[in-house]
């Protein structure tokens, strides 16, 4: 079993104490995000967990937690670290108001890669790519190149995804007055941008992978990626079984293999205006206030369905 911590919230940044307690106790209660009364208790015993995949914007938190993770018997860990280069800038204060500053995230990334000792274990996510009057392809290429130069040698892949305009995403971007103009997937401007990003990645020893994008970017130098990639995990830990199949619970163009996600929606307090997993920052803050680090689940759950 692969544990995802978490697509739905930044566990290392905001819920690490809780997660370490869950690992120490060897179990976690997870709920169906669409029907929280459907619940199950999942074993987190080291023998039952083939790998833990962390998703975060604060890699330094994982550096601080590594000794404890290893004490608890969890050495098979990888991280997907999102760094857009916006945090701490004027645009970042609008789009990513409570995210760690870029310099701190880069420093944490480099320290984590050094601590874990393998560039394959820490992936860089440049995500999401937003286009509009304030975000031109040229600006993305320049920002991506600057970050790639700083992260060179600490990772072997950069993962890119274009912004998906879900209704809640459009609403939140409108609330902060941020204009977005996203072309259709595979549009010439996007293909040219992907090709430019792929060339920059290659220059810095990285492959460029596209996350949850349709197969319309052949010939650009990028490949369709799998953030939770069973082949990469098997190369790191060949003695563990990793399922070579798509997770049916993810989007059609997502290539990830199955994993148990321990997070819950509407809990990340990073405040990103484009977030897919949070309806509003105020709701996330209220939920964070309800969080009990000693509880089996991230948030209090309703009574469990009885068959």
Burial of 200 (0-12, 13-18, 19+ CB in 10 A): buried
What is the pTM (predicted TM-score) of this model? 0.97
pLDDT at 307: 53
CA angle (106 as vertex; 151, 87 as ends), nearest 5: 125
Beta strands in the chain (DSSP E): 2-5, 27-32, 35-43, 51-56, 77-82, 122-129, 157-162, 207-210, 223-224, 260-261
Phi and psi, residue 40, nearest 5°: -150, 150
pLDDT at 118: 97
| Residue 258 DSSP code | P
Phi and psi, residue 135, nearest 5°: -135, 90
Residues β-bridged to residue 35: 32
* Structure tokens belonging to residue 260: 């148990």
The domain locations on the chain are 2-290
**Tens place of pLDDT per residue across the chain (307 aa):** 999 999 999 999 999 999 999 999 999 999 999 899 999 999 999 999 999 999 999 999 999 999 999 999 999 999 999 999 999 899 999 999 999 999 999 999 999 999 999 999 999 999 999 999 999 999 999 999 999 999 999 999 999 999 999 988 999 999 999 999 999 999 999 999 999 999 999 999 999 999 999 999 999 999 999 999 999 999 999 999 999 999 999 999 999 999 999 999 999 999 999 999 999 999 999 999 999 999 999 999 998 875 5
């Amino acid at each position: 079993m692969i544990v995802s911590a978490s697509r739905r919230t930044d566990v290392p940044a905001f819920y690490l104490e809780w997660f370490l307690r869950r690992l120490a106790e060897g179990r976690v209660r997870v709920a169906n995000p669409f029907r929280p009364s459907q619940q199950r208790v999942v074993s987190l015993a080291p023998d039952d967990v083939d790998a833990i995949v962390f998703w975060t914007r604060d890699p330094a938190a994982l550096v601080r937690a590594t000794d404890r993770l290893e004490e608890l018997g969890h050495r098979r860990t990888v991280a997907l670290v999102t760094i857009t280069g916006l945090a701490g800038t004027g645009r970042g204060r609008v789009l990513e108001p409570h995210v760690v500053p870029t310099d701190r995230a880069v420093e944490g990334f480099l320290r984590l890669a050094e601590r874990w000792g393998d560039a394959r274990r820490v992936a860089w996510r440049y995500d999401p790519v937003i286009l509009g009057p304030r975000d031109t392809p040229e600006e993305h290429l320049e920002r991506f190149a600057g970050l790639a130069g700083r992260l060179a040698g600490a990772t072997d892949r950069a993962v890119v995804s274009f912004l998906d305009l879900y209704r809640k995403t459009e609403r939140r971007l409108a609330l902060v007055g941020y204009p977005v103009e996203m072309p259709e997937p595979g549009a010439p401007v996007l293909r040219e941008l992907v090709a430019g990003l792929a060339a920059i990645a290659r220059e810095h020893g990285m492959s460029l992978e596209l996350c949850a994008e349709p197969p319309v970017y052949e010939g650009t130098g990028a490949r369709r990626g799998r953030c939770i990639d069973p082949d990469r995990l098997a190369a790191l830990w060949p003695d563990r079984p990793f399922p070579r199949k798509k997770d049916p619970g993810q989007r059609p163009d997502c290539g990830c293999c199955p994993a148990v996600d321990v997070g819950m929606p509407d809990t990340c307090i990073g405040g990103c205006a484009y977030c897919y997993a949070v309806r509003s920052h105020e709701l996330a803050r209220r939920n964070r206030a309800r969080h009990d680090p000693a509880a089996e689940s991230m948030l209090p759950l309703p009574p469990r369905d009885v068959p």
